Structure 1
Amino acid sequence: MELRDIEILLTLAEELHFGRTAERLHLSQARVSQSISRQERRLGGALFDRNTRTVTLTPLGQRLCDDLRPGYGLIRRALAHAADTARGCSGTVRLGAMGALPAELARLVEEFRARHPQCSVEFVEFHFSDSLARLRTGEVAAQLRWLPLPDPGLRLGPVVLTEGRVLAVAAGSDLATRTRVSLEDLAGRTVPDPGTRAPREWLRAMCPERTPGGRLIHRGPPARTFHELLALVADGRVVCPLNAHVLRYYAYPGVVLIPIEDAPRTEWALVLPDSAPAPHVQAFIDTARELGPREMGGGGTRERLPDRTSAGRAG
């Protein structure tokens, strides 16, 4: 079995979908199918059970993947180390990220460091209200941003995280007792204004100007940082769609977070300047692309953040 065939096998074992496996490996779906069929003929047994709706590992396939995975990882890392030595790949990747998102990249950073021991990752925080400044000045080599890509002068790298969305409302809002809301519930309500430095199309993807049914959503008072935004929500002056990871990382008195049942999923991708990256930055991008996107938890249940009274007693 060649290294590429092992890669196809292990990727299909993760994705359990021929189309996604082909897309992730930049291959045709026919190439993936041919590789698996060839190995099944060689081994004399099925590695996957597949029908028109599902793909599942057989016991033989599970055992083979379990046996191959450790050795495959060692081979890939050895090749990466050799490539680093040949091209002098070393240095620190400075990556822009908002809020708590660096914690969600632990798996990617760990794998990158394992493959490239002479490299490291340093996170630099940025705010949504001036999201491109550090990338444009070269302070960071890449940024983690939700799609769409807001600037034609930038280059889109791989998607690394995906998640749902929630609506932040005041504890006294008429929506606060709901277990789920719809984007139509934003009709006639007010969302924050992030100012003029944030790309408008990028922000419209999170806070649209109209509901899917065409009803107006008002723009209200300015919020330049996430905590300014939460203060406005708690005061009842705005509501705001947010990414669902806030359920795990943020607690703000008087704010209730409710899953939005019909919101599009957020895709977080690496965004880079439209120029050739340094070798260590390219190595980080390659690692992210090979790992593929990871689904973040959260957003499945309504959560009420602590009210001011309980917060005061706890503090």
Structure 2
Amino acid sequence: MELRDIEIFLVLADELHFGRTAERLGVSSGRISQVIKQQESRIGAPLFVRTSRQVTLTPIGSQLRDDLAPGYQQIKQAIARATANGRGITGILRVGFSGAWSGNLIVAAGDLFRTRYPECEIQIQEQVLNNRFGPLRTRELDLQLAEFPAEEPDITTGPIIFSHPRALTVPAAHPLAGRESVSLEDLADYPLITIIGPPQYFLDFHLPRHTPLGQPIPRGPATTAWQEILSLVSAGKAVCPTSIRSAEYYARPDLAYVPFRDAPTMDFGLTWLTAAESVKIRTFVQTILEVAEDFPGTVASDRRSVSETGRRVRLPTV
């Protein structure tokens, strides 16, 4: 039995559905049926029971699955290790993130990546607000998943992973806290937190100086860290726009997150230093895109949830 045929059998034994198996392996359902029939002919007994409603393993099929799976996994790991060494997917890959949801996705992608490339260690760290691209330029980070825009000549911009509506972070007793939504024009009435360090185009996008109608937006305290922002807002020193998902991940009894009805989305995407691009970075990017398909709140999972065909929707490759 060829290795590919073993893979087809094991995936079908896992999915128990010819269509899903074909989609997962990127082949036709007819090809799956052909391989299984050949295996059953060679073994001399049925491996699956097929009805119009379900597919189940026969006792012989169950035993074959249990016998084949450990050896197949060992072969896959050996090939992955050799491939990783041959491609340079070894050592340490340092990945930064902004937003707890981004960190959770990186951890999930890192777990999958390590199963495929066990010789490569994934290290993650939260990104500081005031130094958007410094860690990439100093090679302290290889890749990061953080807020866009990222308009730097030496930085490669990858795909958007999260795209969230915005909310305004205010004290729980603030006049805006009880509203169903706020407008960008409301910012003219309250001081806005500022951040020290990011490029001006980044600040203009996230913390504008004027409303869309041209009213000046007063400046509040300046800071460099997210937790400091939350404390300053709680103390009534200023307000601050953020992702609507902050209400879930950074909920506090002294804060309220009020959705904007007219603000652009807050996008989180991948960036890396162009001069440092490598097979290791590109492979991890592809792993993130793969995991993102089933990860709540990502662009890929949102597209998949509204797909009429039910097929997986993949983000652009890099």
TM superposition score normalised by structure 2: 0.64
Query: Cα offset for 1:291?
Result: 4.6
Q: What code does the residue aligned with 1:128 have?
A: L
Deviation at 1:292, TM superposition (A): 5.1
Q: Which amino acid aligns with 2:111?
A: E
Contact 1:163 1:267 in 2 (8 A): yes
Map of 1:174 onto structure 2: 175
Q: Kindly state the Cα deviation for residue 170 of structure 1 after the two structures are TM-superposed.
A: 1.4
Are the equivalent residues in 2 in contact too, given 1:192–1:238 (CA < 8 A)?
yes
The 8 Å contact of residues 184 and 263 in structure 2, kept in 1 or not, is answered as yes
User: How many Å apart are 1:222 and its aligned residue?
Assistant: 0.9
Matched with 1:187 is: 188
Which residue in 2 is equivalent to 1:279? 279
Residues 252 and 76 of structure 1: CA distance in aligned 2, closer, same or farther (over 3 Å): same
Amino acid at match of 2:139: G
What residue in structure 2 maps to residue 256 of structure 1? 256
Q: 1:260 to 1:80 in 2, by over 3 A?
A: farther
1:77/1:188 Cα in 2 relative to 1: closer, same or farther (>3 Å)? farther
Offset, 1:87? 2.4
Question: Is the 1:163–1:295 Cα contact (8 Å) retained in structure 2?
Answer: no
The one-letter code matched in structure 2 to 1:221 is: P
SS at match of 1:185: helix
Q: 1:86 to 1:238 in 2, by over 3 A?
A: same
- Decide whether the 8 Å contact of 1:160 with 1:292 is kept in 2: yes
| Separation (CA, whole Å) in 2 of partners of 1:203 and 1:225 | 14
**Structure of larger gyration radius:** 2
Q: Distance in 2 between matches of 1:217 and 1:119?
A: 47
Give the superposition deviation at 1:116. Answer: 1.8
Residue number in structure 2 paired with 1:148? 149
Residue deviations 1:107-151, cap 9 Å, x none? 322322232222221112222122222222111111222111132
Q: Is the 8 A contact 2:136 2:272 kept in 1?
A: yes
Please say if residues 91 and 119 of structure 1, whose CA atoms lie closer than 8 Å, have aligned partners that are also in contact.
yes
- Length, aligned pairs only: 249
- In the aligned structure 1, how far is the partner of 2:80 from the partner of 2:267? 28
CA RMSD of aligned residues (A): 3.9
- Given that 1:172 and 1:236 are in contact with CA atoms closer than 8 Å, whether structure 2 keeps it comes out as no
CA deviations 1:241-293 (Å, max 9, x no partner) are 01223222224452111122332222211211121434322321232244556
Q: Give structure 1 stretches of 5+ with no counterpart.
A: 1-8, 15-34, 44-59, 64-70, 298-315
- What's 1:98 paired with? 98
**2:114 aligned with 1:113, yes or no?**
yes
The change in CA–CA distance for 1:184 and 1:251 in structure 2 (over 3 A counts) is same
Change (3 A) 1:261 1:283: same
Secondary structure of 1:187 counterpart: helix
Q: C-alpha separation between the residues in 2 aligned to 1:187 and 1:273?
A: 37
Name the CA shift for 1:198/1:112 in 2 (closer, same or farther; >3 Å): same
Tell me what 2:237 maps to: 237
Match of 2:139 in 1: 138
Compute the displacement of 1:175 (Å).
0.4
Distance 1:187 1:162, change over 3 A: same
